[in-house]
Structure 1
Amino acid sequence: MQGMIISNPKLEFLRPVLERWFDCIDRYNAVRGDNETPYWLDEKANLGLLSAAAWMAEMVTLQQSPTRKQTEEGERNGRADLFIATTEDRAWLQATQRWPRVNSLNLTQALLDITSDAKKISYASDLRIGCLFVAPHKSQQGATPEELQDMVDDLQKEHCCAVAWYFPYAYRKLRNEAGHYHPGIAVLLKEARG
């Protein structure tokens, strides 16, 4: 089960990145085997996959990209988690990750927080994006197809500019050392305005 919705035209240039992001996850799993997946890890690991997907889509990226940072005290040097660009478009992303329960995503505050953080990077005239990776988990057993569909429905209700999800069938039954099943991952992107 995979898909994406981009509701903000400014983020449409990221569509090829999100499409190849699915491929990067599959490739990682093919090389590493069936015992782990990259989305169990943190936002840095998932930003690495997103960065690789951008390069596959003929874009350029730079993680920990130097930029200006807007603070209450004024402007200073800072870093964006990921800079991504084509010859026509560019964006600075600030990212975080959450591991909510399958049937209780509650992502609104986390999305607002990371978008607020993204507002502080670069300049107001630049496209700044809050990026929230979501690796839901369930204890005891894997998520049912109905639970996965409910999650996808919940993801689509979030107030964001783009959302992509990937719940690969072959990896839905994998569990980590803590016994949690992580059926897949989603990423929510929201433009930071102001």
Structure 2
Amino acid sequence: MDIANGFVINGKSRGKLKHWSGLLHEWSSNIERYMKYTNGDIPYWYKERANVSILAGAAWRSGFIALQEFEADKQISVDETTISELYSWKGRCDLYIGSSTNQHDLIEAKYKWLSLKSDDFNKYATNLVNKALADAKASQCGGDISAVGVAFIPVYLHAKYMENIDDIIKNTIAQIKEMELDAYAWCFPNTMRQRILDNNHLNPGIFLFAKSSKYEA
């Protein structure tokens, strides 16, 4: 296992997000490229919108088109047991990506720091990606467009664990297999796994989790 970067796409015949292989590869490459060009600035430090921009850049580099922060109609059921009562409003979507092979995804993202030593890592991560997917499904799209929820989860660890950082990351990647995801990726640059910050913590990298769903007619 390469703990510096990698990705997994789940499902039969590579699943709902099988067209994301190039995208996820470029996502981690963009993080490392940004750090190289800025002499070590950490892009995943800058909250949700900045991380969406890294993903949008990965879309363009892997042959997709991409559009960020655009207006869209949103709609949810007020009563989850019926679709007769609907609440509609004008909102914004985080990201749309599309390809020449008729793959179209509307993406809503969430962002949250988690500890690599958290016993509830999978629980918190699952809740976050499910919230992102619910937001994506609230946008009124259809046809060949899929709703995708993406959770950006940068992680931290106390510096006292630095000697074991690689094993801790490997164990976390292994436990992610238990989550119900369509795809996940990670980026833990070599320099960041040994870089102690001013707060005596490590911010060694970031996970990306994704779940996809077709819009209901």
- When normalised by structure 2's length, the TM-score is 0.81
Question: Aligned to 1:159, what secondary structure does the other structure show?
Answer: coil
**1:92 touches 1:122 (CA, 8 Å); kept in 2?**
no
Match of 2:135 in 1: 117
SS at structure 2 position matched to 1:123: coil
Shift of 1:6: 1.0
Q: Deviations over 1:135-168 (max 9, x none)?
A: 0101234362110101111222221111011112
Deviation of the 1:178 alpha carbon: 3.6
Asked if the contact 2:147–2:213 (Cα under 8 Å) also holds between the matched residues in 1, the reply is yes
CA contact 2:112–2:154 (8 Å) conserved in 1: yes
* Runs ≥4 residues deviating over 4 A: none
Distance of 1:168 and 1:150 partners within structure 2:
17
Work out the CA distance in 2 between the residues paired with 1:166 and 1:137. 13
Which structure 1 residue ranges, 5 or more long, are not aligned?
Answer: none
CA contact (8 A) 2:7 2:185 kept: yes
Q: Write the distance in 2 (CA, Å) between the matches of 1:50 and 1:16.
A: 11
Q: Deviations over 1:21-72 (max 9, x none)?
A: 11111110111113x3101221111111111111111211010122221134
Structure 1 residue 119: deviation in Å?
Answer: 1.6
Map 1:35-184 → 2, pairs under 5 A: 36-71=41-76, 72=78, 73-87=86-100, 88-104=102-118, 105=121, 106=123, 107-123=125-141, 125=143, 126-141=145-160, 142=162, 144-184=165-205
SS in 1 for 2:131: helix
Code of the residue aligned with 1:5 in structure 2: it is V
How far does residue 180 in structure 1 lie from its aligned partner after superposition? 2.9
Extract unaligned runs of 5+ from structure 2.
79-85
- Report % sequence identity: 25
* Aligned AA (1:84): I
Contact map agreement 1:119 1:128 (CA 8 A) in 2:
yes
Residues in 1 aligned to 2:39 and 2:152: alpha-carbon distance in whole angstroms? 22
Structure with higher Rg: it is 2
Moved more, 172-181 or 20-29: 172-181
Distance in 1 between the 2:35 and 2:205 partners? Answer: 12
Q: How many residues are treated as equivalent by the alignment?
A: 193
Match of 2:39 among 20, 33, 36: 33
